[in-house]
Amino acid sequence: MKKKSKYNVAIMGATGAVGEEMLKILEQRHFPVDKLVLLASARSVGKKYTFKGREIAVQELKEDSFVGMDIVLASAGGSISKKFAPCAVKAGAVVIDNTSAYRMDPKVPLVIPEINPEDIKKHQGIIANPNCSTIIMLVPIFPIHQKNRIKRIMVSTYQAASGAGAKAMQELEDQSRDVLAGRPAKKEIFPHQIAFNLFSHNSAVTDNGYNEEEMKMVKETKKIFHDEKIKIVATTVRVSVFRAHSESIYLELSSKPDMKKIQAILSKAPGVKIVDDRKKNYFPMPLEASGQDDVLVGRLREDISDPKGLCLFVAGDQLRKGAALNAVQIAEIIIR
């Protein structure tokens, strides 16, 4: 891509929860946008959004929608990306794809800017954004991995409704109102009642007993870390929280962790904020992570059953760092 003062940007899936967040972040981070095109399905055509004081109407996503575009931020579903991302690349754009369509493609870089920005250079027109749970886990543990190699990760997630989109967040709100009013909860997005409940992540369960979300965390971590030997096991759970995912993480390190050094590493780590006040019993919470760019990390403690173990708890905004922000950060590196 040629160096410019401003760039033509398209958002594919502009009316979804992540697409709307991408629009906000482009403005908040003063991304040098010349022309902005908002793309969605035919039913959303004409819907208007404000960007830098001017109204922009949504256009229908078509194969010829990318003429003149430099960067395409895609978050419209895997099948849509498979169909339209090649059209965008053919038109000369770089696609930053937020779906699972290309994440495990060996020809497509899978990038978290705080971890492997150098992989961006290897792209052939498409760069993949990792799964939200993977991003929120890896941003705080990678700096530890650099100093004291992680041999094994055991993680349990507490994933908000936001991970399933705007309609899922609305379902949580509607169900909560209905249950409190004594009415039955209506289920449309989730297979089970989400209000005042939790359940195993609503992705398909594979032949090995793990669901797709869990296997994404395993496979994506190995690709991003460039480490096939690292051992990972995940349990992913959907909880009745509107926004921001939380994760309980256990790390088996190569050597005994020095807790002062761990604190020092995390205090300097990009994209991380330590929230760890034992006296006040004050640690990361999804409520406080919502709207923040940093991943909150706390509950830092040695494993009392294993001298090489480290426990921590994190919370991160799934719509921002777990999706839209990560994509925009990749775009910022591309234009630099």
Residues that are catalytic? 132, 245
The one-letter amino acid code at 21 reads: E
Strand partners for 51: 54
Give the dihedral sign, CA 290/295/300/302: positive
| Alpha-carbon distances, residue 137 vs 134, 148, 234, 278, 312 (angstroms) | 5, 17, 11, 22, 10
Using alpha carbons, select from 236, 245, 222, 246 the residue that is nearest to residue 152.
Answer: 222
How many residues does the structure list for the chain? 336
Residue at token pair 């449309």: 188
Q: Which stretches does DSSP call E strand in 91-149?
A: 94-97, 126-128
Residue 36 burial by Cβ neighbours in a 10 Å radius (0-12, 13-18, 19+): buried
Using an 8 Å Cβ cutoff, are 93 and 10 in contact? yes
How many whole angstroms separate alpha carbon 219 and alpha carbon 149?
A: 18
How many whole angstroms separate alpha carbon 262 and alpha carbon 303?
A: 14
Using an 8 Å Cβ cutoff, are 48 and 40 in contact? no
30: number of Cβ within 10 Å:
8
The pair of three-digit structure tokens given for residue 213, joined into one six-digit string: 């979300």
The one-letter amino acid code at 87 reads: C
Residue 131, SS3 per DSSP: coil
| Alpha-carbon distances, residue 313 vs 144, 245, 274, 301 (angstroms) | 14, 11, 10, 10
Instruction: Supply the DSSP string of 201-235, one letter for each residue.
Output: -SSPB-TTS-BHHHHHHHHHHHHHHT-SS-EEEEE
